[in-house]
Every structure is written in C-alpha cells, then in structure tokens.
Amino acid sequence: MTEEAGHAPGLAALRRRALEPVDVASLAAFRFMFGALMFAGTLRFMLNGWVERFYVRPTFTFSYWGFEWVELLSPLWMHAAFVLMAVSAAAVAVGLFYRVAIVAFFLVFTYVELIDVTNYLNHYVLVSYLSLLMCFLPLHRAWSVDAWRDPSLRIKSAPAWVVWLLRFQVAVVYVYAGLAKTGSDWLLHAQPLNIWMTARVDTPVIGPLLDVWAVALLMSWGGFLYDTTIVGFLLWERTRALAYVAVIGFHTLTGLLFNIGMFPVIMITVTPIFFAPGWPRRLLPPRWIERLDGDAARAWRPPRRGRALLAAAVAVYVALQVLVPARWLLYPGDVLWHEQGMRWAWKVMLREKNGSVTYRVRLPGATRERYVTPSRYLTRHQEREMSGQPDLILQLGQHIGAELGGEGVEVRVDALVSLNGRAPKRLIDPTVDLMTVRDGVSPADWITEAPDTPPIRLSRGHP
C-alpha cells in the first residue's frame, strides 16, 4: 500500500511528525526558566553556607564507581566553582553566550555532584541530564541576547523532536518513579511515608491527620497513581491544563511535608514543556512578542551532514535513559536493602534507613581487634547517608585499612541497619574482610539478605 493511501509505515509517519516545525517559544521559555531556577538554586546553596558544609568541611569523600578520579578542589576553588555555576546559569537564562554558558554549567554542576556520593539527590541527576541535552539543542536562537546581538541566529520554529526529547527526559522521571512504587512497603504498608508523616504532626491544620496510618496509605496510593498517570494526562490536550494544576498541587504538598530540597520546584518548572509549543505567546503582550521575535522567519534544522550522527546519538541516549534505571532488575534481592542499581533509577522517596556502623580492624600480628567509628572521618551528614549504603561502608572501611597500614590489615564491620522502621539487621556479613572485597557491578555476596519481616506501622494509639 502507498503512503498516500493512508497506510504509511509507522516509523515513516513518526519520522515525518518528528521533523515537523513547531513554535520555538516553548524552548526559549524552557531555557529561561531552567537557567533562572538554577541561578536561584545555586545562590541559595551559597548563601546558606552549604558549600562550606558539604565541600569544605569533609576530610573524606565517597566516590562513584568509575569516577574515583574526581576529587575535591581547595576551599577557594570550590567557592569559585559555585560562582561560575551561578554566572553560567544566569547567562543560560538570558541566552548570553549560550553555548559556552550551558556547557560550563553542565560540566561544573556535574563535577560538583560527582565529588561525594553522600550528596546524591535524584533531582541533581535530572539537572545534569537536562543541561547535557541543552548543550546540543537550539534553545538560544529565539528570545535571547545572542539572537538580539546576531539576528542571523533567529529562528521561528524547530523540529518537533527537540521538544519531544525534553518531554521524554521529564517523562522518564515520572514513569520510573511510579513503577518503583509498586513494592509492598509503599502500597501495602505506606512506608516510608508513614514514618515521615508522623514526624510532622505539629503541622498546622492537617497535623492530626498525619498521625493516622490510613491517611499515609491513601497518600502512598495517590503518589503511585500520580507518577504512573501524570505523563499521559500531560500529553493529552484535553486534560493537560488540569494535569498541570495537579503537578503544582502535588509537588507543593510534598515540598511542604517532606525535606526533598528543590525537587518539587524543578518539576513544576520543567513540566510546562508538555504544553503546546506556542504557549508562552498567550502570556505575553503582543508588543513584547513582536520585539522578541524580530525578523525571525526561518526554521532550524541540524546540518545535513551530521543528521545521521545526530539521529544515532539521540537513539543511544534514549536507550540508555530506558535501560540504566532498570538495571536493578539484574540483581537478586531487595534493591532498597542492597542498593545495587539504586542510583540513577528514579527510586524517589522509597526508603528510610537508619544505621549504626562500627569497624573492627586487626593489624598484622595483632591478637586483638581495634574498634573504629566513622565519626572520626565523616561529617554528621556523611555518616547518616553512609550508614545505610553498603558500597559506601566498604569505601570507608578500605580507606581506614589503607590509612592504618594497608597490606596485611584486616577490616570487618558491624553494620546494623533498619529499613523503613524494621528492627535493625546486619547489612554486611561481619566475617568478611573488607580489604579483600572489590566493588563493581557484579552482585555483592558480602551484603546480607534483606529482612523478611513487614515494616513498622505508626499511627495514633500505636507505639
């Protein structure tokens, strides 16, 4: 059958739709809002003294596997890195020297987040991914200082796939966050929401409700249904506006109730990319639109010579975004316990871990063990994060062993950890010498099996 007969192959039809020109206004708005939010967030980080707290005070940092070469700079240069991050974010927002600014922001932001695993947050990963995409997209060719300085840059439209790619990145977060909530702890036991909510009973008006387990269960199911359906509602034109109201309401509530940093604000800011590409034009006066557009009339298309390479790069990127978050399925056991495949998997708000870690060190020729506490090496924040993550416990143990002599030194650990309110259980086999363990992507047999008891239930009238 011919394409004219209405039976075009699916891929051919998809390709045509992906190449259709769409209004560039939403891309310009995305650039401005992203850059402005990153500037505000970086400024907030500096003014709160968090550069000092997270990147100056620590004397030991935890490395990501494969990124052991990333190291802390001196205090002066760490502060300088954040200044550069803020300046580049502001430049991205207004579209000034955009290519240089967005590349600088991506490199500095990602470098800072690779320094110490205990600073890992899901929304930091999203920021790195979005800024990486923005390095290659024409977000500066409309409504920017660059386009004002060089009118030859101005465009009126871009291929639909540019908008699709940004939508896809945001959608991945929601979809995987929803699928991650299919576990029994979340859907059947309302944990860890129940634990967090009972700690907020002093909240005005709604405080008494937060101490009711049924309310926690209702919110757990609400979070699951929201994450798994919101992308569909945002993509459907009839429900898009109402869906965005839900986005604002959901993230505002979670931001007020739980200590999850800027994640709610980021999601509220980037989600408008799902609206029709021309949506910003309905919000600005026609006179402003006329000045912003200038004489732009042409559509942007990537250079013909590099289109095949670009298509391949996009395909690889999309595949990685689908596959990397699912890698935890390759590991036996409960990922919330052993943590293998936990990072970069969009497992948002799924676990509350509390642990007590003590290392037992035996020097060569010694008959007795020496006890070492993590607090000798870590800040309170680092110790709290490390105590429930096996690979970090391993890293510090090996650092202690190397510091105390290296060859011949034996390091074992007593790591008692509570997952979502369960009774504490050993996380790591206490008989294993950590100096003989090599971290990697293989299943870790030195991590114990997850507890098989249900999590705690906190509610009014219960302990």
Domain boundaries, the chain: 11-159, 335-436
Stated pTM of the model? 0.94
| DSSP letter for each residue of 163-187 | HHHHHHHHHHHHHHHHHHTTSHHHH
Distance separating alpha carbons of residues 339 and 331, to the nearest angstrom: 10
pLDDT value, residue 5: 47
Listed as own residue / partner, the contacts of 430-434 with beta carbons closer than 8 Å and 24 or more positions apart are 430/360, 434/394, 434/397, 434/398, 434/401
| 138 Cβ contact partners less than 8 Å away, ≥ 6 residues apart | 24, 27, 155, 158, 162, 300
Distance separating alpha carbons of residues 325 and 329, to the nearest angstrom: 9
Are the C-beta atoms of 361 and 400 separated by less than 8 Å?
A: yes
Tokens of 159: 């291929």
- Neighbour count for residue 204 (Cβ, 10 Å): 5
Are the C-beta atoms of 191 and 419 separated by less than 8 Å?
A: no
Q: Which amino acid, 152?
A: S
| 316 Cβ contact partners less than 8 Å away, ≥ 6 residues apart | none
pLDDT value, residue 3: 45
**Helix or strand (DSSP H, E) at 234:** helix 213-235
**Helix or strand (DSSP H, E) at 357:** strand 353-362
pLDDT along the chain (463 residues), means of 10: 52 87 96 98 97 96 95 96 98 98 98 98 97 97 94 93 98 98 96 94 88 94 97 97 98 92 96 96 88 79 82 95 97 97 96 96 92 96 97 98 92 98 97 95 96 88 46
Distance separating alpha carbons of residues 37 and 118, to the nearest angstrom: 23
pLDDT value, residue 8: 55
**Helix or strand (DSSP H, E) at 130:** helix 122-134
